[in-house]
Chains A and B, each alone.
Chain A
Amino acid sequence: MVAAAVFRMRNVSKVYHVGDLEVVALRDVSLELYAGEFVVLLGPSGSGKSTLLNLLGGLDTPTTGEVDYLDHDLSASGDEKLTAFRREHVGFVFQFYNLIPSLTAAENVALVTDIAEKPMDPREALALVELTDRADHFPAQLSGGEQQRVAIARAVAKRPDVLLCDEPTGALDVETGRLVLQVLERVNKELGTITAVITHNASIAAMGDRVLRMSSGRIIDIKANEKRLPASELVW
């Protein structure tokens, strides 16, 4: 990767207090993410993947260490700045889609485009995920895969700089999961959005530029794929 680092984490640790317990979710992690790359984070439950993603997405701040997005210091930002950061730069895709049930597909997308600076038209975003004909359907009228594609449309409609996906295929069957991954792949290629995908599913690793393996709060391995495998060819 020759591009400049967009995200830079230096010696980041994150400690949670759960009741009387102290849970160390990240231990001294350093990482850089580059423009346009597709990163897959692999690891078992509790390895710190989600914590890492939350720190990158401005949902949380580290206990120690620094997280920078370009020239923004996320680790020193308060709620207001983090909110603005998410609003302007980050797209989220969740395992359970998190669509607003009272809004149609197009409206769910519009919810985000309404507060973004240079968004796509919601219909355009839906076209990207090939759901133009379902634009006026409510979540209850959509299948799981369709709901996840709406969620992706919603995430990319603001033209984010980074797309963070937490187990985007976790609740889907293989066919549908593959379809969703193809959409992510396409967004990454066509829009050049940095895409980070958290997954349990090691097969997905093949479609990334780099694969990070995590365990017990540390990155234990970073591997760059020689060649990215198209999502359509993934098997699991």
Chain B
Amino acid sequence: MRIGALDRKILRDAWHIRGQIVACALVVAGGINSFVSLSSVNRTLAASQAAFYEEYRFADVFAGAVRAPDSVAASLAAIPGVATLETRVAVRVNLDVPGLAEPARGRILSISRDPAGGLNALHLRRGRLPAPESQDEVVVAEAFSVANSLGPGDTFRGVIHGKYKALRIVGVAISPEFIYALGPGQLVPDNRRYGVLWMDRKGLAKAHDMEGAFNDVSARVGPGASIRSVLKEMDRILAPYGGVGAYDREDQLSHRFLSDEIAQNRTMSRITPTIFLLVGAFLLYTILTRLVQMQRSQVGLLKAFGYTGGEISLHYLKLALVISLFGAGIGVATGLPLAYSMLSLYSEYYYFPMYGNDQGFNVASAGVALAVAAATLGAVPAAMRAARLAPADTMRPEPPPRFHAGVLERWGLRRALSPARRMLVRNLARRPLRFAASVAGIAIAVALLVMMTAVTDGVYYLMQWQFTIVQHDDVQVLLNEPRTTSALDEIRALPGVLEVEPFRLASARVHAGHRMKRGVLFGLDAAPTLRRVVGVDGRAWEIPLDGVVLTTIVAGTLHVGAGDTVEVEIMEGKRTTTPLLVMGVVDEPIGFATYVSRQTANRILGEGDVITGAYLRVDSRERERIFAQLKAMPEVAGANLREAAYAQFRAMIDRSVGIMITMNLIFAWIIACGLVYNGARIALSERGYELATLRVLGFTQRESASLLLGEQAVITGSGLPLGIVLGIGLTLYFIWMLSTQMWRMPYVMTGLNLVGAMVAVALAAVASGGAVAWRLRRLDLVGALKARE
């Protein structure tokens, strides 16, 4: 292929301004990198979720009961709108995991024997399904299998229905129901201490005394069916059998977490690339506008030779194309591996088959198209300007640019400024849009960092709040069923147990008018010390003898506050509904708890003085022994260790936060460096002549550098505080976006965050400005005397 002379020119032009091209291409690369990585992660997650749900028939509706005879299944299946319905036996189990001192918990579900595969079907990763009627063969969830290094052939013990039972693993599986498996009371998955298991229905029913009955229901609804009315019907039918409330996917934990994650990811995959590509388009606009200005006479010459305006426009658009393809190439080349490592991080917490690896090509193509579109957006004004230049005009030297004293100067600033400062002010004022866009760019770089560090601090604060302010226990013991307080006598008597604080948990719905929120009723001692009720604002609440304390999330959903009355509907036992006065709203970022005193809990549950668990403080030297003894108690359904959960949480946060901070720091630096370097280079190009003149007139290198970089300093200086404001806004937006029905990120903004973000961006600006100032050393003083450019 022959490269035409005009194309050769553009390649050489590109080489001549390579520093600026690289700066601009890196910004484009940042945009495409974030687009490619986030979009392909997003598409893969969404496609995998949809495919897994479809192929393994994830249910739309879920319900539980204490015990319902099999005959009820027919009436449930007959509910209008229900397409497929399946009953199961679900059992909470205490697991004795080899190598784990404390008891682990699990949930055993019966496996559907439906020839068509049934709902919430298992995807076997290894081994096989349990043999029909087998009473000891289990399939374990892959998450649990990996965390405990257990696989087919291994055995461990579980306590089912108060009896020890040896369980033999025959298979390892994943299920659409437990992509994200969160045990009761857990904030992040602890797959070592919580596992989902599956057994043959008959074997499980026998072990759990559930023969001819079921306690768990899943259903898929037909197209166009009203889920709301199906839920209502199910509740009605199951109520006599101890129904604990039907719910749809929105309240299904695994689905909720995964869907929230995908939604957040999708938002990010739109915001970040947009910011970058706009900055990239702006840089390209300034670069090309300057190039066209410098090449006025060349454009005139080309026109004189007979090139058309269109050909000349195309000539400059090609340069934009080269830059955008260069940037897109880097973006795709770094974005795809990044997507891969993000997905592998996801796969440690979300267990499902990752489909859609074929997304790479589509996403990469879309990325390239986006880069080209952004480049065109930035390049068109300059290309048009080149096309419009009249040949005769271009042959004459450009008249000096027009300046005038701005408003500020007329107000008297003039006298306060030296001529050098006035040059700076007027140069900025002459191109207000360029100035505004540059300031906005710097502000965005700062804002990205502010937002990132604030969100990170928020997560850490959340973690510390939960594990050091709210919780002061060592172990949370959960009983397998509500028991009288005397059940704690045995635990209290264990050597090394220092303090025991009982609690009563019951699943409940809180109503206010037509609004409803599912959650738990949390009955605590009046002034609990091991598990306090404290807001993120640091305010600790005493539990009133009567009435409830709601969390901000519950109160917000119900639109109620202190002084209002809510109806608390208990979803187990006698299923009572009691109106209670809201005594206060605790600013708790996690959860769905509705706090009452144990007395109130006992009163509305009507079961006497019963509890479902207790918080313990133990002597650290006796820990292991206490765990072993707890493990041996059949009434203990499980134990959550504060320290272990804390460590788990921290490990998860540390890893993802590390990646996010590094990426955002790189992103912010790319933006700041790109803007400042490019701005200073263009200033140098536009005013090299001026600066050389000043040097000839006796200005020192430092003085002329300060004139050159003064504008960038003003831009950066204005961008930094604006970035703080923007960053705070972005943080609030991000928190709002990240907040779900389950938790809300606390807003944490420290001076260190703000100063750190400004310093990081300022350093990038100083480094880029310095790189340009270095060029002043090579300024051709002699040339300045001679040629008018």
Measured CB to CB, the residues of A under 8 A from B are 50, 54, 57, 59-60, 79-80, 83-84, 86-88, 90, 92, 94-96, 98-104, 107-108, 110-112, 114-116, 138-140, 154, 166
Contact = CB atoms under 8 A, between A and B. Distances in A.
Contacts of B696: 57, 59, 86, 92, 98
Given A102-B422, A102-B430, A111-B420, A140 B786 contact: no
A54 B418 CA distance: 29
Q: For this complex, into which size category does the number of interface residues on chain B fall?
A: 20 to 34
Contact of A101 (B403, B701, B781, B785): B403
Q: Which 3 A-B pairs have the closest CB atoms?
A: A87-B698, A98-B693, A102-B426
A101 B784 CA distance: 15
Interface stretch (B9-17, B273-281, B394-402, B511-519): B394-402
B693 A83 contact: no
Contact of B419 (A98, A101, A103, A140): A103
A60 B695 CA distance: 12
A90 B784 contact: no
Mostly, the B contact residues are helix
Nearest to A54: B782
Contact of A50 (B689, B694, B785): B785
A111 B422 CA distance: 10
B427 interface: yes
B786 A50 contact: yes
B694 A96 contact: no
A60 B782 contact: yes
A98 B693 CA distance: 6
A59 B785 CA distance: 10
Nearest to A107: B419
B539 interface: no
B307 to A, nearest CB: 29
B700 interface: yes
B655 interface: no
B423 interface: yes
A59 B781 contact: yes
A3 B694 CA distance: 32
B698 A95 contact: no
A80 B698 CA distance: 10
A115 B698 contact: yes
9 contacts: A59-B696, A90-B698, A92-B785, A95-B785, A101-B690, A103-B419, A103-B423, A139-B400, A140-B402
Contacts of B430: 102
A92 B422 contact: no
B695 A100 contact: no
Nearest to B427: A102
A114 B402 CA distance: 24
Contacts of B699: 83, 87, 115
Given A94-B785, A100-B693, A140-B402, A107 B422 contact: yes
A98 B698 contact: no
B407 interface: no
A166 B696 CA distance: 13
A205 B427 CA distance: 41
Nearest to B693: A98
B668 to A, nearest CB: 32
Contact of B422 (A94, A103, A116): A103
Max chain B CB contacts within 10 Å: which of A60, A101, A104, A138? Answer: A101
A79 B701 contact: yes
B697 A102 contact: no
Contacts of A104: 405
Contacts of A110: 418-419
B701 A83 contact: yes
A100 to B, nearest CB: 5
B784 A98 contact: yes
A68 to B, nearest CB: 19
A44 to B, nearest CB: 15
Contacts of A98: 689-690, 693, 696, 784-785
Contacts of B401: 101-102, 140
A102 B423 contact: yes
Contacts of B787: 96
B788 interface: yes
Contacts of A57: 696
A11 to B, nearest CB: 22
B399 A140 contact: yes
Contacts of B403: 101-103, 138, 140
Nearest to A166: B785
A83 B695 contact: yes
A94 B781 CA distance: 12
Contacts of A111: 419-420, 694, 697
Interface in B657-697: 689-690, 693-697
Given A84-B698, A104-B405, 9 more contacts: A54-B785, A59-B781, A59-B785, A98-B689, A98-B693, A100-B423, A100-B690, A101-B400, A103-B423
Interface string B763-789: 000000000000000000110111110
Nearest to A110: B419
B404 interface: yes
B295 to A, nearest CB: 20
Nearest to A57: B696
Nearest to B417: A107
Nearest to B404: A138
A154 B419 CA distance: 13
B432 to A, nearest CB: 14
Nearest to B784: A98
Contacts of B689: 98
Interface in B426-469: 426-427, 430
B694 A88 contact: no
Max chain B CB contacts within 10 Å: which of A88, A98, A139? Answer: A98
Max chain A CB contacts within 10 Å: which of B690, B703, B785? Answer: B785
Nearest to B781: A59
A154 B694 CA distance: 11
A198 B108 CA distance: 100
A99 B700 contact: no
Given A96-B788, A139-B400, A112 B693 contact: no
Given A102-B426, A102-B427, A86 B785 contact: no
Contacts of B695: 83
Max chain A CB contacts within 10 Å: which of B404, B405, B693? Answer: B693
Given A101-B403, A102-B427, A94 B693 contact: yes
